[in-house]
């Protein structure tokens, strides 16, 4: 009886001391980070459920109502086709978050794989992969994205591919340096000594132990990806009409700055808030997961 | 030091070669026949064939790349398909416009960013500190193109105090010497024009400066906070030096190194941001040059424009590396 109580206690302690729980506790301590998570959650929920509640369909045109200022009927006013801006922004959240998540997952997977290979195998493999990263990072990122889209042709899908591609070296370098430090650790040496295969060492030991910086970088990268997608949309190289992508909405608003500035104000606020949310959350995660990464 | 510079430049060679290769791929990677894509569906067979020859697309890729490199070394950046002029001949005015805008923006960003960071660290947890850091946080998350539009709406359309687009008064154009209009108007002693050019710079310049400013302010603050806790700062204070002197003379010198790295990195962001800012403000810079070329499928211009900007970016980073040694004598180049 007494023994089992002790066991239970020990188990409890073990649970509390788990690295993820500890990180969550650290994260919760930062008010700013929690606000960031709140903003992100708000936009995620809006993207998922919002379209069920919007007053109007995204492409429902009503030319009699065009360029109406914000009112009780149209909270954010209407655009040049008489479409309800609020409805479009709500739907646009889907596009922006979708692009942000997908692009970052893509670059994290490709970048991490290349980074692990470079860091673990070293020598010429490392030299080649690292040089490719150097070369990609030698371009201002949005310029490289523009180059990719100018080759593939303007569309939301190609913008997503471009954004994923330009973020690959950021993840790659991060993981590579992490792997370089981990691979000399004793538990990896002993795994090798008992004859464990490279693949198993890489993916069951090194990868999980390098995840923290990837999660932090990933959260911050979603913020950048959302801005980049909007920038490409704004330049006409991303989402095409009549998509309610926020950057595209901003581009369309340019002709109506004088008489209908609300067509410009609200999509911009939506982009800024979403990006702010991810930035705050990323900063909080960084402090919680890896104090050494604090800038 | 010389040895270090030499080895850094040597290390740059593969990066520069790689850059030219990526840029070279821009035309070659177009799905389908690039000549057909450039000329459109209605193009005649002869026209497509002629363009293939002009672009050298008939040769194997390694010969094409070699020819392309040879051209670059002799200053041949290709020929614009739209204007038929060599890119090398027509690019300078655009490049000068972008450099003027970027330098203006980085000066604003550095002056305001560093000072805001210093004051925030000096008066840590004061209302100024909180306000500055909240602004900086929003600044980092601000889409530059939205900020540009907001600037345009508030200051040009609503208040009417600053011009909406362009670089000069089109009815009274600047007599061009260097293509840096601020310098040109100063050389000519034309102060009326100088102030007009300066007014045109303010909106795009501040829009472009916002993100770097925010990042520089945050970096300066955290770097200063660290230095301010050190022993020598306490010594300086306790021997009765004025706080201003301690902060700006003693602490800043040691806090500036990480800030300098950030400034170097921001120059690249600035060059990328220039494309967006220039589109909004009708600024005739290299960003708009590339942007318009995309609309016309003018690939030689897209290629060379991107290559030039990337080259400048790499050179700035090299320069920043070299500057460390001058500012921080503890850094020894091996």
pTM higher than 0.95 for the full model?
no
Q: What is the dihedral of CA A161, A167, A171, A176, to 10 degrees?
A: 100
Domains and CATH numbers, chain A: 43-63+71-293 (1.10.3720.10)
What are the beta bridge partners of residue B86?
A: B79
Q: What is the pLDDT of residues B126-148, one digit of tens each?
A: 899 999 988 998 888 889 999 99
Name the closest residue on chain B to residue A256, using Cα atoms: B153
pLDDT in tens, chain B (334 residues): 778 788 888 888 888 999 999 999 888 888 877 888 888 878 888 888 888 888 878 888 888 889 889 989 998 888 888 888 999 999 999 999 999 999 999 999 999 999 999 999 988 888 999 999 889 988 888 899 999 999 999 999 999 899 988 898 888 888 889 999 999 999 999 999 999 999 999 999 999 999 999 999 999 998 888 888 888 888 888 888 888 888 888 888 888 888 887 887 787 778 888 888 998 999 999 999 998 888 888 888 999 999 999 998 888 888 877 777 677 666 665 4
Whether residues B141 and A151 touch (CB distance < 8 A) is answered with: no
Chain A residues lying within 8 Å of B273, measured CB to CB:
142
Give dist(CA A108, CA B223) in Å, integer: 30
Measured CA distances, B244 to A62, B59, B249, B316 (Å):
62, 67, 8, 31
Q: Is the dihedral of CA A25, A29, A31, A32 positive or negative?
A: negative
How many angstroms from the chain centroid is the CA of residue A109? 13
Chain B residues lying within 8 Å of A131, measured CB to CB:
14-15, 18
Residues 146-185 of B with CB under 8 A from A: 146, 149-150, 152-153, 157
Give dist(CA A205, CA A74) in Å, integer: 54
pLDDT score of A292: 53
Q: Spell out the SS3 assignment of chain A.
A: CHHHHHHHHHHHHHHHCCHHHHHHHHHHHCHHHHHHHHHHHHHHHHHHHHHHHCCCCCCCCCHHHCCCCCCCCCCCCECCCCCEHHHHHHHHHHHHHHHHHHHHHHHHHHHHHHHHHHHHHCHHHHHHHHHHHHHHHCCCHHHHHHHHHHHHCCCHHHHHHHHHHHHHHHHHHHHHHHHHHHCCCHHHHHHHHCCCCHHHHHHHHHHHHCHHHHHHHHHHHHHHHHHHHHHHHHCCCCCCCCCCCHHHHHHHHHHHCCCCCHHHHHHHHHHHHHHHHHHHHHHHHHHHHCHHHCC
Give dist(CA A32, CA A30) in Å, integer: 5
Chain A residues lying within 8 Å of B157, measured CB to CB:
257-258, 261
Q: What is the pLDDT of residues A86-135, one digit of tens each?
A: 999 999 999 999 999 999 999 999 999 999 899 888 889 999 999 999 89
**Contact by Cβ (8 Å): A247, A142:** no
**Contact by Cβ (8 Å): A224, A279:** no
Domains and CATH numbers, chain B: 1-74 (no CATH), 92-327 (1.10.3720.10)
ipTM of the complex: 0.87
Residues 293-312 of B with CB under 8 A from A: 294, 299, 302, 306, 309-310
């Amino acid at each position: 009886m007494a023994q089992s109580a002790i066991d239970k206690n020990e188990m409890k302690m073990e649970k509390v001391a788990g690295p993820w729980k500890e990180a969550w506790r650290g994260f919760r301590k930062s008010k700013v980070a929690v606000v960031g998570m709140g903003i992100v959650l708000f936009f995620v929920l809006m993207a998922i459920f919002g379209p069920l509640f919007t007053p109007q369909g995204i492409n429902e045109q009503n030319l009699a109502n065009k360029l109406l200022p914000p009112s009780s009927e149209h909270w954010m006013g209407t655009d040049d086709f008489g479409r309800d801006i609020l409805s479009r922004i709500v739907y646009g959240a889907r596009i922006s978050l979708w692009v942000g998540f997908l692009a970052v997952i893509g670059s994290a997977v490709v970048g991490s794989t290349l980074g692990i290979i470079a860091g673990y195998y070293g020598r010429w493999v490392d030299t080649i992969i690292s040089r490719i990263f150097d070369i990609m990072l030698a371009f201002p990122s949005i310029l490289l994205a523009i180059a990719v889209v100018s080759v593939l042709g303007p569309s939301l899908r190609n913008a997503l591919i471009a954004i994923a591609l330009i973020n690959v070296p950021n993840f790659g370098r991060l993981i590579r340096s992490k792997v370089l430090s981990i691979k000399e650790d004793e538990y990896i040496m002993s795994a090798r000594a008992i004859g464990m295969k490279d693949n198993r060492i890489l993916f069951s030991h090194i990868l999980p132990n390098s995840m923290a910086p990837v999660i932090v970088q990933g959260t911050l990268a979603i913020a950048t990806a959302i801005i980049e997608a909007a920038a490409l949309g704004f330049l006409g190289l991303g989402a095409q009409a009549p998509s309610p992508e926020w950057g595209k909405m901003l581009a369309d608003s340019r002709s109506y700055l004088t008489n209908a500035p609300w067509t410009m104000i609200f999509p911009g606020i939506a982009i800024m808030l979403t990006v702010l949310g991810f930035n705050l959350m990323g900063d909080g995660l960084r402090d919680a997961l890896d104090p050494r990464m604090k800038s | 030091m010389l040895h270090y510079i030499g080895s850094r430049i040597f290390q740059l060679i593969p990066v520069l070669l790689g850059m030219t290769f990526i840029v070279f791929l821009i035309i070659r990677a177009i799905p389908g026949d690039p000549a057909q894509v450039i000329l459109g569906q209605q193009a005649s067979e002869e026209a497509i064939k002629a363009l293939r020859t002009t672009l050298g697309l008939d040769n194997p890729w390694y010969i094409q790349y070699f020819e392309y490199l040879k051209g670059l070394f002799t200053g041949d950046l290709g020929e614009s398909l739209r204007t038929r002029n060599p890119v090398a001949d027509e690019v300078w005015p655009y490049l000068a416009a972008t450099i003027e805008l970027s330098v203006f923006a980085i000066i604003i960003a550095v002056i305001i960013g560093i000072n805001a960071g210093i004051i925030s660290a000096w008066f840590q947890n004061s209302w100024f500190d909180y306000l500055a850091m909240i602004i900086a946080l929003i600044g980092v998350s601000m889409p530059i193109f939205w900020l540009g539009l907001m600037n345009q709406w508030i200051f040009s359309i609503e208040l009417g105090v600053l011009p909406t687009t362009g670089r000069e008064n089109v009815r009274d154009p600047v007599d061009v010497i260097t293509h840096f209009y601020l310098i040109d108007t100063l050389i000519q002693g034309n102060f009326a024009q100088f102030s007009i050019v300066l007014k045109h710079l303010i909106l795009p310049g501040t829009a472009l400066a916002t993100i770097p400013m925010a990042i520089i302010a945050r970096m300066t603050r955290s770097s200063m906070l660290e230095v301010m806790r050190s022993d020598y700062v306490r010594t300086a204070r306790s021997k009765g030096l004025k706080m201003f002197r301690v902060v700006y003379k003693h602490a800043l010198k040691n806090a500036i190194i990480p800030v300098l790295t950030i400034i170097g990195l921001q120059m690249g962001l600035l060059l990328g941001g220039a494309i967006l800012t220039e589109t909004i403000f009708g600024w005739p810079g290299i960003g708009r040059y590339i942007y318009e070329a995309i609309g016309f499928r003018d690939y030689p211009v897209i290629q060379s424009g991107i290559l030039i900007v990337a080259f400048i970016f790499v050179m700035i980073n090299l320069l920043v590396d070299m500057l460390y040694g001058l500012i921080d004598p503890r850094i020894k180049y091996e």
